[in-house]
Structure 1
Amino acid sequence: MGKVYEGIDDRLREFILAQPVYFVATAPSGAGGHVNVSPKGGTGTLAVLGPHWIAYLDYTGSGAETIAHLRDNGRITVMMCAFQGPPKILRLYGRGRAVLPEDAPFAELVAAFPVDPARGLRSVIEVEVERVSDACGYQVPLMDHVGDRDLLVRWADRKSDDELAQYRRTRNAHSIDDLPALSGP
């Protein structure tokens, strides 16, 4: 039922880009701390950059667990589920990093996306994919995608650049386990 692939081929790329929602899982090093799973989505927010390379647009949010965990150990899994059509679950295991606006590759990465990023873009999460595998997805329900939400974009549009920066300094500086996210070393 499940299969491990050499990398992301054209067929898998098509599947990945067709999914309106994907899930990102990270965890801190060691036995303590919280495992984090975040739903992500929005048309054009994930890009397949090569057979072993993906990236997604990371917008300002209520927490910064993924960034903190990637700074801690780099481990990340991205999962897509087919909610329409034939059943399938696809997992991309790898090492990731948050590329911030002040980092040299930021503009080049943003240019790889088919959409202009909305206000509130905090970073681009870049993943070097080490393992690509699928599972049957027989238990995943069929669901209809009604559309993308625009609430996060509208929220960010109501804020000035200074207000967004202040929000990140106060709400995205550390993870819930007090690991640095958008703060110091």
Structure 2
Amino acid sequence: MGKVFDSIDDTLRAWIEKQPMWFIATAPLEADGHVNVSPRGHDSFSVLGPHRVGWVDYTGSGVETIAHLRENGRACIMFTSFDGRPRIVRLHGRGSVSSPGEPMFDEVVARHPENPSTRAVITVDVTRISDSCGWGVPVMTMDDERDLIRRHAEKKGPDGMVRYRAEKNARSIDGLPGLAPGV
């Protein structure tokens, strides 16, 4: 049976920080817009307080999460246990985007290893925390993290990453604004 939590306490925080992968789900306001669910990993997620989380957002082939959060802020983050006791934890809330040079960007980036693919920081003010059984989730082991994001960014270099983001991250698939030019 699922449980609703008042806050992210130390026990829940430790469980969250142990998970090697998590998912962020967002959607635009338009009824015919595309719901987006993105898997995330690496050492990029931070519990910032009992009702606030954040992560370093790496450059990807799209910009849905950023575009949706800028439009309406709605977010659901899901963690799931793939080993040991089955469990799913969802954090619902309102998210925002911080760009390089902003205080929140600097605060969250400082908590994690440097990555040349970093494009933004996402923070979510958590309004609902719940868990569920996870009995249908398979048991799996993690072999390793992929280093493709880092290698891609290093190969392109800083100027190449700016050009890539201008081409791939300026607008969402629904045409919503993504990253500003030059980011």
- TM over 0.5, shorter chain: yes
| Cα separation, 1, equivalents of 2:107 and 2:176 | 28
Maintained 8 Å contact 2:8/2:49: yes
Whole-Å separation in 1 of the counterparts to 2:32 and 2:180: 21
Q: Which runs of 4+ in 1 moved over 3 A?
A: none
Quote the residue 2:56 is aligned against.
57
Rounded to whole Å, the distance in 2 between the matches of 1:86 and 1:75 is 29
Q: Deviations over 1:79-131 (max 9, x none)?
A: 000001101000000000111113233212212x2x32211100111111110
Structure 1: stretches of 5+ with no match in the other structure: none
Distance 2:8 2:48 in 1: 10
**Aligned-partner SS, 2:165:** helix
Determine if contact 2:104/2:121 at 8 Å carries over to the other structure.
Answer: no
2:159 corresponding residue in structure 1: 162
1:17 and 2:17 are equivalent in the alignment? yes
8 Å contact from structure 1 (residues 57, 117) kept in 2 = no
Separation (CA, whole Å) in 2 of partners of 1:158 and 1:26: 30
Q: Specify the alignment match of 2:170 in structure 1.
A: 173
Q: Under a length normalisation based on structure 1, what TM-score does the superposition of the two structures give?
A: 0.95
Q: Which residue matches 1:129? A: 126
Measure, in 1, the Cα distance between the counterparts of 2:155 and 2:134.
40
Structure 1 pair 183–32 and aligned structure 2 pair: CA distance change class (3 A) = farther
Write the distance in 2 (CA, Å) between the matches of 1:134 and 1:40. 19
Counterpart contact for 1:174–1:183, Cα < 8 Å:
no
Distance 1:109 1:151 in 2: 22
Q: How does 1:18-57 map to 2 (within 5 A)?
A: 18-42=18-42, 44-57=43-56
Alignment of 1:87-102 (within 5 A): 87-102=86-101
Matched residue, 2:85: 86
SS in 2 for 1:76: strand
Q: 1:24-58: CA deviations, max 9, x gaps?
A: 0000013120000000001x210101110111111
RMSD between superposed Cα atoms in Å: 1.1
Q: TM-score, normalised by structure 2?
A: 0.96
Cα distance in structure 1, aligned partners of 2:69 and 2:27: 8
Separation in 2, partners of 1:104, 1:87: 37
Q: Give distance in 1, aligned partners of 2:180 and 2:100.
A: 14
CA contact (8 A) 1:173 1:182 kept: yes
Distance 1:146 1:140 in 2: 18
The 8 Å contact of residues 17 and 45 in structure 2, kept in 1 or not, is answered as yes
Letter in 2 for 1:96: G
Q: Quick check: 2:51–2:126 contact (8 Å CA) kept in 1?
A: yes
